[in-house]
Every structure is written in C-alpha cells, then in structure tokens.
C-alpha cells in the first residue's frame, strides 16, 4: 500500500529536485541523500508520523534522505496502549510497514516514560493507586506485547525515557513510576525488553545530556545499571539543541564520558532551535519576533556543521543520528515552549528544500 503511494509521483520524483527546484535539476539523476553522505559513518534517521508517510512529497524526501525512522508518537504508551486490554496498532504498524517496504531501519520509541502515559496504568479497579508489584507486571505485559509484536522488525528501542530529574539537587525524577516502584522500574524495563527481544539494542534516552550537572547524574544511573548487569546497550542524546548550545567542548566531553562506559551512543531527537532553551511553556510576548533572519540562518548552519564534525570524529561510538521531524513546515517546536511562535530547527525549509544548514552537514 505505502510503496505504491510513494511512487505515485512517477519515476523522476526521487531525482535531484531536492536542493535545486529547477526543471533541469529534476532530470539530473538520483539525489544523493544524507544517508549516502554518511554511509561510511552511521545511519541517518528521522521521526515520522503516519500522516507524513501519506504525504507524497514528504515520503519521497524520507526515502531519498534517510535510512532509519523513529515513530514520533505512535509507539508511546498512551497512543499505543490506551486501555489495559486495548492496543492501537494501526499507526505503529503503518510506520513499520513503510520502513520494511523501503529498506529502512526502525528505532522504537519509547517503552517507559512519565509523559504520554495512560492513567489506567497507575490505578486499580478500586480507584486507588496500584502496588509496585501490579505496576511492574503491567509494565512487563506492555513491553512483552509491544516489543514482541515488532521483534525482528525494530532494531533498537528507547526503553526508559527521561528518568533523571530536572532539578540538579535531585537524582531521579519524582514521577509516579518512581513513587510507586523506586528505581526498580528502570532496571526491570531493560530486563523485560531484553527478554522480549534479545537482539534489540536497548537505550536509555534523555535531554540536556551535554550540561555537566545533568551529564554526571545520567552517568551515575548508567554506571549503576551496568554494575548491576542490566542489559543496557546505549545512551540516547536527545539533542534538542539551539544556536547557543551545546558548545564543542561540552558535546565532546559528553561523548567521551558515556563511551567510557562501553555504551553505544545515538543522537536520537536532533533539532536546532533558533531560540535559547526554555523548559516551561509560555505565551508569545507582544512584539516577539519569530523571523528566520539571515543571521540566524548562518548561525544555524555553523552550529549544525560543528556538531556533525564531532559526530564524524566519534563515528566509532556514535551508531546513529536521528532528526526530530522532517522539515520546518511541521515541527513540535512551533508549539513548545511558546505556542504559535514559528521555529526553523531542521535541515529542510517549509517547502522541503535544503537550507544552508544542510550544506554545512554534507560538505566535508
């Protein structure tokens, strides 16, 4: 179904209209994509929705540029398992089918998180909070079912997502998972995932990993997992970055720190906001500009070029880089942290054309 839809534009749609929109360029020959530039380094992926796969131009762009995809939301616990005895497989199945039809790898995202988690998980029939034993059994059933369904089709999973607290004076996030289970939910999630698919590569995934105070706490967690012989294989650096961070020094220090544990590293959710980092949601301020100026465009190109230079330098430990969304016409950063403030964080613009940042990434 998906393969036929993808080629609905005709045989020339995979030609070099990307990067040059002239009619002449459309006949130039097959486009060289990010996956081709980085074929000797690591897979280059992108987060997708089922809707983006049905969009002919976007599906062409995905196939031509990327060789790995991550479901942006379709495999998170809330969307895929909204009730204890009900699973929504349609969207996740569609993404996996698209990938298989086009020879694209799939990263599963994610099995255990404090957000987008259905409320039934933590509540018993009596309306009260469940015990640790009940919650861990529900987590096991969820992981057995989801990982088992895609065994052999999904090569890697983000098993536990964002378990470290944002407060630098604390260690683990005080989520319902932690309140009910303590740190055991993290240990057990990896054990359950490994049992469900022993060949899958299992990641702990988090943001702000390059900030020294958070990096140290993530390292502490990973070291404890390894010492307890928990089957964690890698760490995912979400890489929701900006024109202003990370610095080259902090990024290299992060890669060196985590790789010293013998773990694989993947860049799992890469985008480059044109605004400084903010965590808390807020309204757009009167007169606040959201123009993508020439200066910002140049800054972004330099920042992207810098981080990819480091990725290439550490290709022996970095085993994948995934962008979080396809192009600037649809990005989660348009609604977070400032709703309605346009952002321009990706390599392709609102018309799906490559930006200066794209050229900075592929010219090496």
Closest CA relative to residue 73, chosen from 52, 59, 103, 55 = 52
Q: Which residues are catalytic?
A: 269
Q: Cα angle vertex 362, ends 359, 363, to 5°?
A: 75
Q: Which CATH number do you get for residue 180?
A: 3.20.20.80
Domain that holds residue 185: 108-276+291-362
The pLDDT of residue 211: 97
How long, in residues, is the chain? 364
Distance CA 282, CA 216 (A): 29
* In-domain check, residue 285: no
Other CB atoms within 10 Å distance of the CB of residue 114: 15
Mean pLDDT estimate for the chain:
92
> Residue 123 corresponds to which tokens in the numbers above?
């509540």
Instruction: Answer yes or no: are the C-beta atoms of 346 and 356 closer than 8 Å.
Output: no
Other CB atoms within 10 Å distance of the CB of residue 241: 24
* In-domain check, residue 353: yes
* In-domain check, residue 189: yes
DSSP conformational letter for 245: B
* In-domain check, residue 33: no
Q: Which residue has the tokens 């990706």?
A: 346
Distance CA 19, CA 13 (A): 13
* In-domain check, residue 149: yes
pTM for this entry: 0.91
What is the gyration radius of the CA atoms in the chain, in angstroms? Answer: 20
Q: Three-class SS of residue 123?
A: strand
Instruction: Answer yes or no: are the C-beta atoms of 327 and 57 closer than 8 Å.
Output: no
* In-domain check, residue 244: yes
pLDDT < 70 positions in the chain: 1-30
DSSP conformational letter for 306: H
* In-domain check, residue 37: no
Distance CA 184, CA 191 (A): 11
Q: Tell me how many domains the chain contains.
A: 1
* In-domain check, residue 30: no
> Residue 298 corresponds to which tokens in the numbers above?
């140049």
Distance CA 40, CA 62 (A): 19
Q: Cα angle vertex 255, ends 250, 260, to 5°?
A: 125
Instruction: Answer yes or no: are the C-beta atoms of 2 and 52 closer than 8 Å.
Output: no
**186-195 burial: b if 16+ Cβ within 10 Å, else e:** bbbbbbbbbe
Strands 234-237 and 105-112 come out as unpaired
DSSP conformational letter for 61: H
The residues near 178 (Cβ < 8 Å, ≥ 6 apart) are 163, 172, 185
The pLDDT of residue 31: 77
């Amino acid at each position: 179904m998906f393969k036929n839809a993808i080629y609905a534009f005709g045989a020339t749609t995979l030609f070099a209209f990307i990067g040059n929109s002239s009619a002449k360029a459309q006949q130039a020959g097959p486009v060289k994509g990010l996956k081709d530039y980085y074929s000797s380094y690591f897979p280059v992926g992108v987060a997708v929705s089922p809707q983006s796969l049905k969009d002919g131009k976007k599906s062409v762009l995905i196939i031509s540029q990327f060789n790995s995809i991550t479901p942006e939301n379709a495999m998170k616990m809330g969307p895929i398992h909204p009730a204890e005895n009900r699973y929504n497989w349609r969207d996740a199945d569609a993404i996996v089918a698209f990938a298989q039809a086009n020879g694209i790898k799939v990263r599963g995202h994610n099995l255990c998180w404090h957000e987008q988690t259905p409320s039934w998980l933590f509540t018993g029939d009596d309306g009260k909070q469940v015990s640790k034993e009940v919650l861990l059994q529900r987590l096991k059933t969820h992981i057995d079912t989801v990982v088992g369904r895609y065994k052999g089709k999904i090569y890697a999973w983000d098993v536990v997502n964002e378990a470290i607290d944002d407060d630098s004076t604390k260690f683990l996030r005080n989520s319902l998972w932690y309140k009910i289970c303590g740190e055991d939910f993290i240990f057990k999630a990896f054990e359950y995932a490994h049992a469900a698919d022993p060949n899958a590569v299992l990641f702990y995934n988090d943001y702000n990993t390059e900030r020294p105070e958070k990096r140290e706490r993530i390292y502490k967690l990973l070291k404890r997992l390894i010492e307890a012989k928990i089957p964690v294989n890698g760490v995912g650096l979400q890489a929701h970055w900006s024109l202003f961070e990370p610095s080259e020094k902090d990024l290299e220090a992060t890669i060196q720190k985590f790789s010293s544990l013998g773990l694989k590293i993947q860049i799992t959710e890469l985008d480059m906001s044109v605004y400084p980092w903010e965590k808390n949601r807020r309204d757009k301020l009167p007169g606040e500009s959201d123009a993508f100026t020439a200066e910002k465009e140049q800054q972004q190109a330099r920042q992207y070029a810098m981080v990819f230079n480091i990725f290439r330098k550490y290709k022996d430990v970095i085993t994948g880089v995934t962008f979080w969304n396809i192009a600037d016409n649809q990005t989660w950063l348009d609604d977070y942290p400032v709703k309605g403030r346009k952002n321009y964080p990706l390599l392709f613009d609102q018309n799906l054309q490559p930006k200066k940042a794209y050229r900075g990434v592929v010219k090496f």
